[in-house]
Chain A
Amino acid sequence: MVNVTADSNKPQEKTVNMSPWAIARRKFFRNKLAMISSFFLLAIMIVSFLAPYITTQDISRVNIGQMSLEPGGEHILGTDKAGRDVFTRLLYGGRISLVVGISCTALVILFGTLVGSIAGYYGGNIDTMLMRFTDFVLTFPFLVFVIVLNTILFGIVDGLWVLIAAISLLSWGGVARIVRSKILAEKENEYILAAISIGCKPSAVIIKHLLPNVLSTIIVQATILFATLIVAESALGFLGIGVPQSIPSWGNMLTASQEADVLRNKPWIWMPPAIILTVTILSINFIGEGLKDALNPKSFR
């Protein structure tokens, strides 16, 4: 066996000209708050998605013998008013909240980028029309229309997808606006003119040349959106309108706090989802700040 020494062809470390992504990565890794938040978020995601392997308790079965047990013993965080284990529901709830958050963010970013880049690239009448439409969607009061859409679609499609569709349908406006303004500024550059003059198709110009240059903005937007949309989902769940009550989500678990008795005397039922939700939102925000800082070439930290 030949043991090749890696030293000979090892790339020179700390090359003078690092790529922008390498610089951003280094800046992000040095940001302690953002790194701690990333690890925390990752841990939450892993634990939530592995929920079926971590606990064996049934999440939906009502157990009258074990109603409103205080934390301790067999149930680490106690049980709720229907005798279901709070810890288990917390894990499963995280799964739903994160799935809704991630899929809404993906849909919103996809659609917003599509509309924004087409409007920004073509300009003229197409731009005016698409942006008027975006303005129109943005004037809808978000919560009001999500609730109305949810009420109409409820029962026609599976509950979770109704929620994802309704939230995504009303949230893409902001992304479209930002992407458009970035594309407008970017397409004035000469490399775009060069790409067009050698005969690139518009789709190739947008995807291969324009989007990579506005990607940093989109990434930062996606992080902010992720936090906002998780909040939107849980707010709807809290109001009792979002995900069907039979499926636990962090928002659904908080609905219990609307009963004065639970709120006053049984804090172990509503405090865990409230705290975990707040900490998750905070950590996503910290990651967002870290990314913004790291991707901004003008910041030296």
Chain B
Amino acid sequence: MLKYTIRRILGMIPMLLLISIVVFLLAKAMPGDSLSGEIDPNNTDPEYIEDMRERLGYNDPLPVQYFNWISNFVQGDFGKSTRYKMPVSDLILEKLPNTVFLGVSSLLITYILAFSMGIIAGRKPYTIGDHIIGGLNYLGLAIPSFIAGVFAIYIFSFNLGWIPYSGSVDIRLTQGTFEYWMSRIHHVIMPAIVLGALSTASYTQFLRNDIIENSRKDFVRTARAKGTPTSKIYNVHILRNSIIPLVTFLGFDIATIISGAIITETIFTYPGIGQLFIDSVFNRDYPTLMAITMMLSVLTLAGNLVADILYGVVDPRIRLD
């Protein structure tokens, strides 16, 4: 297992290098100074720009520039935001907890909903309950997240008044108190459901089909024959087998959440990385844009790595090749 894990991690390094090169080249293709953000975009004096370019090393050959950029990046120096006039790393650190909170809540809600619905549908397939859950799944898969989000705000915030429609917390509350955390949960619940809708639907579908398939297998018949209660067969014997493939989805969820967060955070004006990303596009804050692009690419790659490794953990056959 250790050998397999190490091999996977080593296999990721060339990918990481290639992605960083692509991001670097994209950053170079962006208008202005999108690597460091040191050049003031409002100062159009050609002498100033030429002076700064020379000082920042933009007249060096590309490989040297790449090497300087990547070594700074690895050390946590992501350049300076042209809009906020502060290091991008500080900006990201400020917003990151919100996005992580959103992502984790979304995963939790996904797991809770998918497990309960999948078990209900899988245990009594082709009944009314199963069909209702099947229909909900279909909607979850087909309705785009931004439409679901817009309708959620319209119905639950404006017409019913159950949830707030923007922000991540009630700013009047002091940090750390019980009410503060309740308010954060209150703010995150709807975006998290919308963000997790797609994975919830696919998990439920998968779990249902897997439970039905497993319930026809020999070990279930044996368990029945020796008099094991039905609930125990389903909750212990079958569920354990059906959970295994689900574990591997976790890694891919990271990628889904990253792309989803950009949309969800914009709809719910939730201050996180996704919103910072969109804002930086509109404000032409290219250093921030490229730093977040690089960060999200690395995270996606890490998600794939986690998926690969988990796959090896649950399915020993994978480790051999």
Contact = CB atoms under 8 A, between A and B. Distances in A.
A278 B18 contact: no
Contacts of A149: 26
Interface stretch (B80-88, B111-119, B149-157, B210-218): B149-157
The residue among A139, A260, A278, A281 with the most chain B CB atoms within 10 A of its own CB is A139
A260 B262 contact: no
Give chain A's interface residue range (CB within 8 Å of chain B). Answer: 35 or more
Contacts of A151: 30, 281, 289
Given A139-B297, A142-B259, A143-B259, A152 B304 contact: no
Which 5 A-B residue pairings sit nearest by Cβ, starting from the closest?
A143-B259, A264-B158, A231-B144, A141-B300, A257-B150
B320 interface: no
Interface of B: 15, 18-19, 22, 26, 29-30, 138, 141-147, 150-151, 153-154, 158, 165-166, 255, 258-259, 262-263, 266-267, 277-278, 281-282, 289-290, 292-293, 296-297, 300-301, 304
A267 interface: yes
A188 B144 CA distance: 40
Given A144-B296, A152-B26, A152-B30, A277 B147 contact: yes
A135 B154 CA distance: 40
Contacts of B292: 144
Contacts of B144: 231, 234-235, 277-278, 281
Contacts of B289: 148, 151
State the majority secondary structure of interface residues on B: helix
19 contacts: A139-B15, A140-B22, A142-B259, A144-B258, A144-B297, A145-B293, A151-B30, A151-B281, A235-B144, A238-B263, A239-B266, A241-B278, A258-B266, A260-B166, A277-B147, A278-B142, A278-B143, A278-B144, A281-B142
Interface string A239-282: 11100000000000010011010011001001000100110011
Contact of A143 (B15, B138, B263, B304): B263
B297 A235 contact: no
Given A263-B154, A270-B150, A240 B143 contact: no
Interface of A: 135-136, 139-145, 147-149, 151-152, 227, 231, 234-235, 238-241, 254, 257-258, 260, 263-264, 267, 270, 274, 277-278, 281-282, 285
B255 A141 contact: yes
B293 A139 contact: no
A234 B150 CA distance: 13
Nearest to B147: A274
B142 A139 contact: no
The residue among A144, A263, A278, A281 with the most chain B CB atoms within 10 A of its own CB is A144
A226 to B, nearest CB: 13
A267 B154 contact: yes
Given A274-B151, A278-B144, A281-B142, A235 B263 contact: yes
Contacts of B300: 139-141
